[in-house]
Amino acid sequence: LLTAYRNLKVDTPVKSVQLISLDRPSALNALNRELMGELDDVLQKTQNDNQIKCVVLTGSEKAFAAGADIKEMKDISFVDAYKQDFLSSWNRIREFRKPLIGAVSGYALGGGFEVAMATDILLSSSSAKFGQPEINLGIIPGGGGTQRLIRAVGKAKAMEMILTGRMMKAQEAYERGLVSQVVDNEQLLPEALKVGEEIASKSAVSIQAAKEAVNAAYELPLSEGLRFERRLFHQLFATKDQKEGMSAFIEKRKANFSDD
Ligand code: HXC
C-alpha cells in the first residue's frame, strides 16, 4: 500500500482499520476519473491485504465530495459515455467485500452522495449536507442515486430531493435512517474509527458473510434472501472462528479469532 496517490490519503491509524481520505481540496473532492481510479486501486489492494479488516472512507471538513467532476464531464458525448460505459467502474465500490464505513462532513452531493450511500455504515457530522443536485445540471443521478435513495428514505422524499435538487441536513438524514449516527465534527473520525475497530475485532469470515447477507436483502425476494442467509449461516460452522467464538463464550473468556 505504498503507492502514492494524488487525490487520496491512505493511512492505518488503528490496527486493522484503514482510513482512506478523499483529498482534492481545490475542487471540494469532486470525483474525477483520476480520483476514482485511485480509489479503485486502493480498494483492490485493501481487498487483498489480510491485515486490513475494515475501511473508513472520509473527505474533508468542508466536503465529503461535491459530486462527479462537472468540468471533466461537460464535453463528454453520448457515444463516448456509451462506449466507455462511463461510471461502470463505480460498481467496484459495491463489489468491495470488507465493511466500508462512510464518514461524511460538509457536502455529500451528486456522485459524492452516491458514494456515501454505497458504503455499508454511514456516519455524519452535524455539518453534513446530502443532495442530488444533478437535475440543476440537466442530468439525473448516475451512480445509484435514484435506486439507493428511495430504499433509504422512501419514494416521496427521494423524488423531492432528486426532482428539486434540495439538500438534506444531517439531523434529518439520521431521523430517516440514512445515516447511523450524527456526531460533532471533531468526533466524526474518532467515532468512525471506533466503529471500525470494533468490527475489526470480529472474525473476518463472519464479517464478510454478514455484509454479504445484509446486501442480499437489497436484491432478493424474502424467501430467497432467507434461504441465502441460512446457507451462509450453515457454512460458518465450517470455520475455526465459529468454534473459537462459542468456546470462548462457554469458557468465559474473550474470543481470539484467527480469521479462519
Ligand atoms: C468540479 C467542482 C465541483 C464539481 C465544486 N467544484 N464542485 N468542480 N465538479 N462537482 C469546484 C468549484 O468549481 C470551485 O473551483 C471549487 O470547487 C470550490 O467550489 P465553490 O463552488 O467555489 O464553493 P462554494 O461556493 O462553497 O459552494 C460549494 C457547493 C458548490 C455548493 C458544493 O461547489 C456546488 O454546487 N458544487 C456542485 C455540486 C453539484 O452539482 N454536484 C453534482 C455534480 S454531477 P474554482 O476553480 O472555481 O475555485 C454528479 C453526477 C453524478 O455528481 C453522476 C454519477 C457519478
pLDDT tens digits, residue range 193-203?
A: 999 999 999 99
| Per-residue model confidence (pLDDT) at position 87 | 87
107 within ligand 1 shell (Cβ under 6 A):
yes
Rounded distance from Cα 67 to ligand 1 centre (Å): 7
69 within ligand 1 shell (Cβ under 6 A):
yes
Per residue in 101-120, pLDDT (tens digit) is: 999 999 999 999 999 999 99
Arithmetic mean of pLDDT over the chain:
96
The residue contributing the CA closest to ligand 1 atom 7 is 66
> Strand, helix or coil at 259?
coil
Pocket probe for ligand 1: among 70, 85, 107, 149, the residue whose CB has the most ligand atoms within 8 Å is 70
- What strands, in cross-sheet order, belong to the sheet with 63-65? 63-65, 107-109, 129-131, 167-169
Exposed/middle/buried for 236, CB within 10 Å: 0-12, 13-18, 19+? middle
- The residue annotated as part of the active site, out of 38, 103, 114, 196, is 114
Per residue in 151-184, pLDDT (tens digit) is: 999 999 999 999 999 999 999 999 999 999 999 9
What gap in Å lies between CA 137 and CA 39, rounded to an integer?
A: 25
* Residue 131 CA neighbour count, 13 Å, CB half: 17
212 among known catalytic residues:
no
Interface predicted TM-score (ipTM) over 0.95: yes
37 among known catalytic residues:
no
Q: Kindly state the average pLDDT of the residues 41-66.
A: 97
Would the pLDDT of 1 be above 70? no
CB 43 within 8 A of CB 96: yes
118 within ligand 1 shell (Cβ under 6 A):
no
Confidence of residue 89 (pLDDT cuts 50, 70, 90): confident
Query: 246-254 contacts: CB < 8 A, separation 24 or more?
Result: none
| Per-residue model confidence (pLDDT) at position 88 | 86
Would the pLDDT of 85 be above 80? yes
pTM (whole model) above 0.95: yes
Rounded distance from Cα 64 to ligand 1 centre (Å): 12
Confidence of residue 90 (pLDDT cuts 50, 70, 90): confident
Identify the CA nearest to 110 among candidates 162, 39, 182. Answer: 162
Per residue in 24-52, pLDDT (tens digit) is: 999 999 999 999 999 999 999 999 999 99
